[in-house]
Every structure is written in structure tokens, then in C-alpha cells.
Chain A
Amino acid sequence: MKKHLLIAACMGLLSWGAVAESLDAPAPDGRRLGGTIAQELQAEEMPKVENKDLKRERNYPEQPPTIPHKIDGYRVDTNSNKCLSCHSRSTAAKSQAPMISITHYMDRDGQPLATVSPRRYFCEQCHVPQHETPAAIPNTFKNIDQVLEGGASQP
């Protein structure tokens, strides 16, 4: 009886070891390089938000323009929308900020509205500030000009 218990205990320990190893498998190298799944790595330094107020080139004409300034503490909720206090039709003249485009004043059937369409109200769904840091994951995106220059054989 005692022997059986001992064997069972040994088996238990062994299988525990196997489970522990599979739980701590090496992590896939995504945005966080190296380490294992359970391991906590040193967080990277937080980059600063670019705050130059200079328009950036768009990669394609329909791209929502990125925000060229800081938006710390800007509140966008049911009560108020800080972005619209400069970028709406009625305030753009005073602030000299670019007015949000006509598409933001249309419902989804293209019907013009008096105020910003509810589906366009949450600015940060499409428009985001940029950080002073290289892209976390490099990509091979080419805009249309580069594609035309390179010829059709390019991937």
C-alpha cells in the first residue's frame, strides 16, 4: 500500500514537471522579442508623442490623417468633444485648425447632416497621434507612387 502511494506521488511530480515546462514555452517573437510566456521582461521606454503641428503625408488618399499634436487629457465622450472645439465647422475659422471633412457630416447613406454624424464622433477610432520612435514592426508597405515607379513585377 505504502509503495503504491510512493509511486503515485513520484508520477505526480514527474507529470507536474512536464506541465510546468509546457506552460513556460518560449514566447513567439512578436512585438515583444525573446523570453518565455511566463517570463516578465523589462518594459521598453515610452516614446514621446510628436508635437510639431506639421501635416504628415498620407500613404493613400483615403487615409485618415494622423494627429500632429499631443492630445493628453482631451475628453471625447457623450458630454463633450475636445477635438471639435477646434476642428468643427463652426470653430475652425477661429482656431485655424483644419475643419473635419464633409464626410463627417453625412450619415451612411450620404445624406448631409447639420452636425457631426454620431458614427464619426469618436475621433480616435481613426485619427491617432504618432510617437517619436521607429515602427515597432517594420513593414514593406509601398504607396501608389512607389508601386508605379517600381513597375508591376514588385510584390
Chain B
Amino acid sequence: MWELLKSYWQILRRPSVHYSLGFLTLGGFIAGIIFWGGFNTALEVTNTEQFCTSCHEMRDNVFEEMKTTIHYSNRSGVRATCPDCHVPHNWTDKIARKMQASKEVWGKIFGTISTREKFLEKRRELAEHEWARLKANDSLECRNCHNFDYMDFTRQSKRAMEQHSTALASGEATCIDCHKGIAHELPDMSGVKGW
């Protein structure tokens, strides 16, 4: 094994005998573009609602619940898809989240939530992960669309205005602290602060 690795290292170390420097640099450049493009395309494919709902775990549970909420159907027709809220839009954060999500492949293979009962049992844990994530990044995914700087308090109801102009404005609370379960049903909320 060590000998094999060593021989490859020797090949890598030697200057090219047959190919010109121009071919190697240009070829490497073009191959790089193709590889990078392919990588990003594949990444984007996994970042669509169609991809998320291709598994029955998502399609029959969380996606079905979301259909009745305002983030799916509303007066203006602007809607959020799964990755809008569950995957950061920034590239580095997105890659970090995607690496985390490899655990979900494990879950899919071993059927962690393959039935409705298993899903309901695990819902609190899954929800807590999302709450913790949104709390830690100051509800970044909410703020991709709901920008505090452009909120018109005068167009909000009195109760909403009071909360948004005090707790939210001072940074004391973030969106997820109050707006839990706005796109999906809630797990057993006993012991959750504010519930």
C-alpha cells in the first residue's frame, strides 16, 4: 500500500514528458470550470422543493402540513419553498448546512422517520434542532425575505407593532422565539419557553 502511494507521488512530482505546459494549464482550467459548474449544478438540484419532496418522509408529513399555511398560499402569491427557510443562502453557510444534512441521508437509508408514528415521535427533537439553528443565526432565513429595516409598523396590527418595536428591535428576541410552528405543525410544546 505504501509503495503504491509512493509511486503515485513520484508521478505527481515528475515534470510532464508528453504534454505541453499550455495544454496542462488550459486543460486544467477547462476541467476546473466543468467540475465546478457540475458541482454547483448538482448542489442546486438538491436545493429544490422537488428534490426535498421526492422522499415520502418530507412529502407526506411536513410538506403536506405546510400547504395550509401562509408560506404556501397567500394573497400575493409569493411563497417560500423548503430551502428558502431550511438552507442558508450564503455560499459558505450553505455548504456547511449541506454537510450537516448528510446525516439526513443516513436517516433516509436506515428509515429513522420512515413511518408517520416514527416521525411524530421524533418531531420534538427535529423541531428543536431547527429552533436552535434559527436562534443561533438570528433567524437568518426569515430575514432573507422579512427585512426588519423595511418593516412598516404602521401597517401592522397593534399587538404585532408592540412586539416588533420593542423585543425584536432591541435584539432581545428573534423571529423564531415567537413564530414557532408557522409553516409546520408543532410537537408537544410542554416546557418550551413562551408556550
Residues of chain A whose beta carbon lies under 8 Å from any beta carbon of chain B: 51-53, 69-70, 72-73, 75, 77-81, 84-85, 91
Q: What chain A residues lie within 8 Å of B185 (beta carbons)?
A: 75, 77, 79
B55 in contact (CB, < 8 A) = no
What bracket does the count of chain B residues touching chain A fall in?
10 to 19
Q: How far is the CB of A83 from chain B (nearest CB, A)?
A: 11
B158/A53 in contact, CB under 8 A: yes
Which residues between 133 and 177 of chain B lie within 8 Å of chain A, taking CB atoms?
Answer: 157-159
Residue in A closest to B180 when the chains form the complex, CB atoms: A80
Interface of A is mostly: loop
Q: What chain B residues lie within 8 Å of A79 (beta carbons)?
A: 185-189
A69/B159 in contact, CB under 8 A: yes
B45 in contact (CB, < 8 A) = no
B70 in contact (CB, < 8 A) = yes
Q: How far is A71 from B164 in the complex, measured between Cα atoms in Å?
A: 18
B181/A75 in contact, CB under 8 A: yes
Q: What chain A residues lie within 8 Å of B69 (beta carbons)?
A: 73
Q: How far is A1 from B186 in the complex, measured between Cα atoms in Å?
A: 72
Q: What chain B residues lie within 8 Å of A78 (beta carbons)?
A: 188
B195 in contact (CB, < 8 A) = yes
Q: What chain A residues lie within 8 Å of B126 (beta carbons)?
A: none
Within 8 Å by CB of A73, from B70, B157, B158, lies B70
B34 in contact (CB, < 8 A) = no
A80/B181 in contact, CB under 8 A: yes
Q: What chain A residues lie within 8 Å of B70 (beta carbons)?
A: 72-73
B194 in contact (CB, < 8 A) = yes
A85/B194 in contact, CB under 8 A: yes
B186/A75 in contact, CB under 8 A: yes
